[in-house]
């Protein structure tokens, strides 16, 4: 499978009592990839910009760019951008078609943040195709930040979202195969991390971010990752910049990774240096051999950075009129 990112998760998953199988994600067709160790683009100050994780960032960026380019707001751009991936049944790690938990339930996590520092999220949400739009409603129309499970679903249904089955025949077949073969024993596992995290700076110079995922495939029922948590899966401070995370959510949660990246930028680091420091925080304190985490960050000037533990994380950057893939640099070679 082209561009498949394989990471062994045996030791961490054994600790958690989890057993994961292949995410089996189909790759989006993308423009040629450039290595981000080739740094010219990092110092670009071209605004506006849109940046997002993995290959599916290309169509998400394209949608977000349409909104930005017509003078729209970053908050609308990030929501509409990630909705493209949520709706795509071939993306088996986000929204509709996401691989289920070990009991066969597709459970979704998402969060969104705007230029004022306002934010909203949903976690452990089932049967709603666009969790990011429910997160937006939580942000815009409730006094709360995070709604979970049944309460999040009730809120969504009361606000006009439709309940639907998110398990596609393909995801169901993959789950049944996993359940038969793995028998819930810790085995050497393969994981393909494909959450979409998207950041945008609009023509007014304002920043927003969104993050949405079906989380780890075959996770324990009820497990929530980093993606719906502000400061873990995504964080924006419009004075400074923003960051998104992808990969093993437990490692990101333990370090509040995106909050850390933004704070490091506040204290003077470039987006690249901040992403590197946040990855170092993980590898200095946690067993990292079998897990992947990747960070993407932007600052107010339109500079960006990315860093991950193991090679394989890539991202899409729409800046100065082009929407292109880049490979992230990594701690391990
Ligand atoms: C999670 N961080 O639920 C998510 C998974 C992920 O790319 O990022 N996949 O832990």
Q: Is residue 218 part of a domain?
A: yes
Q: Is residue 265 part of a domain?
A: yes
Cβ(227) – ligand 1 distance below 6 Å: yes
Active-site residue, from 9, 92, 107, 195: 195
* Predicted local confidence at residue 184, as pLDDT: 43
* Predicted local confidence at residue 183, as pLDDT: 52
Q: Is residue 295 part of a domain?
A: yes
Cβ(215) – ligand 1 distance below 6 Å: yes
Q: Is residue 38 part of a domain?
A: yes
In the block, tokens 């950041």 appear at: 199
- Cβ-Cβ contacts under 8 Å for 95 (sequence gap 6 or more): 85, 86, 87, 88, 108, 129, 130, 131, 166, 212, 214
Yes or no: say if 242 and 117 are a contact pair by the CB < 8 Å rule: no
* Predicted local confidence at residue 193, as pLDDT: 53
Structural domain boundaries enclosing 98: 30-327
Q: Is residue 244 part of a domain?
A: yes
Q: pTM higher than 0.85 for the full model?
A: yes
Phi, psi of 181 (to 5 degrees): -80, -35
Cβ(81) – ligand 1 distance below 6 Å: no
* Predicted local confidence at residue 97, as pLDDT: 75
107 in active site = no
User: Across-strand partners of 307?
Assistant: 295, 329
Cβ(292) – ligand 1 distance below 6 Å: no
* Predicted local confidence at residue 95, as pLDDT: 79
**CATH code at position 135:** 3.60.20.30
* Predicted local confidence at residue 280, as pLDDT: 98
Q: Is residue 10 part of a domain?
A: no
Query: Model confidence over 77-86: pLDDT tens digits?
Result: 999 999 999 9
- Distance (Å, rounded) from C-alpha 100 to C-alpha 77? 28
Can you list the residues of the chain whose pLDDT is less than 70? 1-45, 183-193
The minimum-distance atom of ligand 1 relative to the CA of 214 is: 3
Among residues 264, 236, 83, 100, which one has the least CA distance to residue 166? 100
* Predicted local confidence at residue 41, as pLDDT: 47
* Predicted local confidence at residue 15, as pLDDT: 35
Yes or no: say if 236 and 227 are a contact pair by the CB < 8 Å rule: no
Q: What is the number of alpha carbons within 13 Å of residue 25 lying toward its C-beta?
A: 33
Go through 300-319 and write b for each residue having 16 or more CB atoms within 10 A of its CB, e for each that does not: bbbbbbbbbbbebbbbbbbb
Count of domains forming the chain: 1
Q: Is residue 18 part of a domain?
A: no
Q: Is residue 19 part of a domain?
A: no
Nearest CA to ligand 1 atom 3: 215
């Amino acid at each position: 499978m082209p561009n498949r990112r394989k990471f062994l998760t045996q030791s961490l998953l054994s600790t958690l009592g989890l057993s994961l199988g292949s995410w089996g994600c189909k790759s989006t067709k993308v423009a040629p990839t450039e290595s981000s160790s080739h740094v010219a683009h990092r110092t670009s100050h071209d605004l506006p910009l849109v940046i997002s994780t993995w290959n599916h960032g290309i169509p998400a960026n394209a949608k977000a760019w349409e909104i930005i380019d017509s003078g729209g707001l970053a908050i609308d751009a990030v929501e509409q951008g990630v909705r493209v991936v949520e709706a795509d049944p071939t993306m088996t790690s986000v929204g509709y078609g996401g691989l289920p938990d070990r009991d066969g339930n597709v459970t979704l996590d998402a969060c969104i943040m705007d230029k004022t520092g306002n934010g909203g999220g949903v976690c452990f949400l089932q049967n709603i195709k666009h969790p990011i739009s429910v997160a937006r409603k939580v942000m815009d129309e409730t006094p709360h930040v995070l709604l979970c499970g049944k309460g999040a679903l009730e809120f969504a249904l009361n606000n006009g979202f439709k309940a639907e089955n998110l398990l596609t025949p393909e995801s169901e077949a993959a789950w049944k195969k996993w359940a038969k073969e793995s028998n819930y024993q810790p085995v050497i596992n393969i994981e393909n991390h494909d959450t979409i995290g998207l950041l945008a700076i609009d023509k007014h110079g304002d920043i927003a971010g969104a993050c949405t995922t079906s989380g780890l495939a075959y996770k324990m029922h009820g497990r929530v990752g980093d993606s719906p948590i502000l400061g873990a899966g995504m964080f924006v401070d419009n004075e400074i910049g923003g960051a998104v995370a992808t990969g093993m959510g437990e490692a990101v949660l333990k370090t509040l990774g995106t909050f850390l990246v933004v704070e490091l930028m506040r204290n003077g680091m470039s987006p690249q240096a901040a992403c590197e420091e946040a990855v170092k925080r993980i590898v200095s304190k946690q067993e990292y051999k079998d897990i992947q985490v990747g960070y993407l960050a932007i600052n107010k000037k339109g500079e960006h950075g990315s860093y991950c533990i193991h090679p394989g994380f890539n991202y899409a950057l729409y800046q100065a009129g082009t929407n292109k893939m880049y490979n992230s640099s990594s701690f391990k070679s």
